[in-house]
């Protein structure tokens, strides 16, 4: 469900919140004045029956969240736009004017506003005084945050922590005149870097075996690149990005002691190596058929297949750090055999110095954020070229994000205790039940699938496990203490604290080998604004962080909740049946459970959607969307909206469906308000660089098309807003999968 980018709010970015508060106050004053006027009429007329104005007031939802929602929705709208001409511009046309992108952000949206608000709450929790009565894991989270925020000590220590770390890695040739290639071992260095979660050349991890969802197995895939997209290395149109990337590396090398000439020469060779790797990297478009990608070998078989690389040495050295012994019979799953075949040929002929320079640069690049400001500033031009980000993220946000990402259950325990409404779990559970029923009903309306496959698909839908809010085990002091037992932090050693955290995370992953899959373990901590589907667990998950306005409030009318979190619930359910999810059975195993005819029909349905989204022009980039890499998310968006609206309609029939309206928006029907809140969630804007990066790398369509695409395919939307057939929002051709 992710909407990419954790952004911040600068002084300029705060203005919309001030205006929102003013607008809320104005609406409240109007309501109060109306109420006083009605009271006066009643007193003067001495009538027993209710005045029409009083009835109108009673039909308004006047909870705090409703008043805020009304202000937020009206501020974002541009009512001069006909909703049938462009519903995104109608619902979001005023949003950008009141919500300029902060300088430290590459994009900004309603989704990101909620993330920013949540991070502010986490900041307050992390900055509260440490108490001896708190769980030790919570104390550790606060110490880690405090060490990150100690800017004066960070400046005083300068580069000394990084230099010590580089010595442990064997040095960086470009800055170390005493570096000796006879001491270099590719497998040892790759193993060391993997223990700090750097997956360079190859991506290796332990996770659920896709074909046996009860066991964990070693998995190998193509490695990460230093820039977000292989195109940034290989395409002439992105030459400015590649040059900024090179300059970033050169400046870091010079800062650490390299001469300008050596930095330029040696970094150039390292980047040439990375360009070679980018050229053999398999693009996302060709990596959607997991059955074809999945190749299982023993280490011995993999070595025989690719003898130029010592797989046993690399894997044995890595896992020995976790006290795990491997043999040549150890099974591994490979997902990028062609890539690895080409990679080992490149590594075989590349000089050791170039290999070392590239590998060490990649880990230094990731650690620049943990250095004093003058070194962090060296990445400024690079970040501006890639993302359009014009200034550094505020320190507190960087620190809160790092703690939340790594000690999420500790800080999540605090978040739950202070900010989460348990009523949200009950409401979400009820909505999941209703939306699952809607999915099953719609499933029987699918014309391209035969009845026997529909029955099996319904079994899978009914087998989906739901997780809401937070895992119960984080409330257990013993469990929470043991969760972070192996990490200890010192307030004066931030750089070392970061390395400790990263290495500990790597150890947790490696130690899963040989252990059964823990089906009770959550995919995410609670204080996260996102939602998830796991194909190997057949599980949907809605953390506490997303069960907030504008997605959900117990004070909202149902049309708001179904248009918000309801669509998200449907989206995640549909992921079990998108082009990737449909490859897994109800038990989470990669298995063909559709016959070839049904698969071919499914592909025909999805092709319509691929072409629809591929024809959308992203105005910020003047580029078309990639309909192939976004197809899974687009299928989920379309299915989620359809299910949520069907479930809302059923709720109205069951309950009588009489709902209060929002102040200032009473001219809109509940059904229209459903679609309005759905659209509002995706209001936002992007810088040109961010838009290009998103098109190249992100599997989610930009917010504009997460609104327009599903609504153009929705007959219900066109009926609700009376859009004529052939209008932009009601095209004659509609795409539907589920």
Dihedral, CA atoms, 502, 282, 383, 115, nearest 10 degrees? Answer: -60
Structure tokens at 379: 């990445």
Q: Find out whether 675 and 721 touch, Cβ atoms under 8 Å.
A: yes
Could you write out the three-class secondary structure of 173-202?
A: CCCCCCCCHHHCCHHHHHHHHHCCCCCECE
Q: Find out whether 359 and 266 touch, Cβ atoms under 8 Å.
A: no
Mutual angle of helices 670-680 and 703-712, in 10-degree steps: 150
Q: Which whole-number Å values give the CA distances from 440 to 34, 479, 563, in the listed order? A: 46, 38, 19
Q: Find out whether 688 and 621 touch, Cβ atoms under 8 Å.
A: yes
d(CA 635, CA 20): 34
- What are the φ/ψ torsions at residue 552 (nearest 5 degrees)? -155, 145
d(CA 716, CA 681): 19
Torsion sign across C-alpha atoms 356, 358, 359, 365: positive
d(CA 441, CA 646): 9
d(CA 164, CA 150): 20
- Pairing of β 331-334 and β 212-222: parallel
Give the ranges where 553-687 is alpha helix by DSSP (H): 558-561, 567-575, 596-614, 631-655, 670-680
For residue 513, the 8-state DSSP code is T
In the annotation, is 572 catalytic?
A: yes
Torsion sign across C-alpha atoms 92, 93, 98, 100: positive
Give the other-Cβ count within 10 Å of 657's Cβ: 14
In the annotation, is 637 catalytic?
A: yes
Strand partners, 256: none
d(CA 723, CA 476): 54
Structure tokens at 250: 């050169």
Choose, from 209, 578, 637, 659, the residue flagged as catalytic. Answer: 637
Q: Which whole-number Å values give the CA distances from 725 to 506, 534, 675, 731, in the listed order? A: 55, 38, 18, 6
Mutual angle of helices 567-575 and 631-655, in 10-degree steps: 130
Choose, from 572, 620, 659, 689, the residue flagged as catalytic. Answer: 572
Burial of residue 686 (number of CB atoms within 10 Å: 0-12, 13-18, 19+): buried
- Which residues are known catalytic residues? 572, 637
């Amino acid at each position: 469900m992710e909407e990419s980018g954790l952004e911040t709010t600068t002084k300029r970015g705060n203005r919309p919140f001030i205006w929102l508060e003013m607008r809320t106050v104005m609406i409240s004053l109007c309501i109060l004045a109306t109420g006083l006027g009605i009271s006066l009429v009643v007193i003067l007329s001495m009538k027993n029956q209710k005045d029409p104005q009083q009835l109108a007031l009673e039909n308004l939802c006047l909870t705090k969240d409703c008043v805020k929602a009304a202000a937020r929705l009206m501020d974002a709208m541009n009512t001069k736009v006909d909703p049938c001409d462009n519903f995104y511009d109608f619902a979001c046309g005023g949003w950008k004017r009141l919500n300029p992108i902060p300088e430290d952000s590459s994009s900004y949206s309603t989704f990101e506003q909620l993330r920013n608000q949540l991070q502010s709450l986490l900041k307050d929790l992390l900055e509260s005084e440490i108490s001896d009565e708190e769980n030790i894991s919570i104390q550790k989270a606060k110490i880690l945050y405090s060490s990150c925020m100690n800017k004066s000590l960070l400046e005083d220590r300068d580069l000394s922590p990084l230099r010590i770390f580089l010595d442990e890695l064997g040095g960086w040739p470009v800055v170390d005149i005493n570096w000796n290639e006879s001491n270099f071992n590719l497998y040892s260095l790759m193993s060391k870097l993997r223990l700090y979660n750097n997956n360079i050349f190859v991506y290796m991890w332990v996770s659920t075996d896709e074909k046996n969802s009860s066991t964990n197995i070693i998995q190998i895939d193509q490695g990460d690149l230093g820039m977000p997209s292989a195109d940034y290395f290989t395409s002439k149109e992105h030459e400015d990005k590649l040059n900024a990337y090179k300059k970033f590396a050169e400046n870091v090398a010079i800062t650490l002691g390299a001469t300008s000439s050596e930095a330029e020469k040696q970094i150039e060779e390292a980047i040439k190596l990375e360009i070679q790797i980018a050229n053999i990297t398999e693009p996302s478009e060709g990596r959607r058929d997991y059955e074809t990608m999945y190749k299982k070998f023993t280490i011995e078989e993999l070595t025989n297949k690719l003898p130029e690389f010592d797989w046993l040495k690399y894997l044995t050295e890595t896992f020995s750090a976790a006290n795990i012994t491997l043999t040549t019979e150890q099974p591994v799953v490979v997902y990028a055999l062609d890539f690895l075949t080409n990679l080992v040929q490149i590594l075989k002929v590349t000089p050791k110095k170039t290999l070392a320079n590239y590998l060490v640069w990649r880990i230094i690049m990731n650690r620049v954020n943990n250095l004093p400001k003058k070194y962090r500033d060296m990445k400024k031009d690079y970040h501006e070229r890639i993302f359009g980000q014009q200034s550094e993220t505020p320190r507190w946000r960087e620190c809160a994000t790092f703690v939340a990402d790594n000690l999420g259950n500790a800080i999540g325990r605090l978040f739950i205790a202070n900010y989460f409404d348990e009523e949200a779990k009950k409401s979400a559970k009820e909505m999941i039940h209703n939306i699952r029923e809607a999915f099953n009903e719609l499933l029987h309306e699918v014309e391209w699938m035969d009845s026997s496959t529909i029955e099996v698909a319904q079994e899978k839908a009914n087998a989906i496990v739901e997780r809401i809010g937070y895992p119960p085990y984080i409330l257990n002091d013993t469990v929470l203490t043991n969760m972070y037992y192996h990490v200890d932090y010192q307030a004066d050693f931030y750089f070392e604290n970061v390395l400790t955290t990263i290495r500990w995370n790597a150890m947790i992953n490696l130690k899963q080998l040989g252990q059964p899959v823990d089906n009770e373990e959550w995919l995410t901590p609670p204080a996260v604004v996102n939602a998830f589907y796991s194909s190997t667990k057949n599980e949907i998950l809605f953390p506490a962080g997303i069960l907030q306005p504008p997605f959900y409030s117990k004070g909202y009318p149902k049309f708001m909740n179904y248009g918000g979190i309801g669509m998200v619930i449907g989206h995640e359910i549909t992921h079990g049946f998108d082009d990737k999810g449909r490859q897994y059975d109800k038990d989470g195993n990669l298995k063909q459970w559709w016959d070839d005819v049904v698969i071919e029909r499914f592909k025909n349905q999805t092709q319509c959607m691929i072409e629809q989204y591929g024809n959308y022009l992203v105005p910020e980039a003047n580029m078309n969307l990639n309909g192939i890499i976004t197809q899974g998310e687009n299928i989920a968006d379309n299915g989620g909206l359809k299910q949520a609206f069907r479930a809302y309609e059923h709720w109205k029939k069951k309950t009588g469906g009489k709902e209060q309206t929002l102040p200032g928006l009473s001219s809109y029907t509940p059904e229209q308000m459903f679609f309005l809140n759905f659209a509002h969630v995706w209001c936002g804007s992007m810088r040109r660089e961010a838009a290009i990066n998103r098109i190249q790398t992100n599997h989610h369509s930009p917010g504009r098309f997460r609104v327009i695409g599903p609504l153009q395919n929705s007959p219900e939307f066109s009926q609700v807003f009376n859009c004529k057939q052939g209008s932009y929002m009601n095209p004659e051709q509609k795409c539907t999968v589920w």
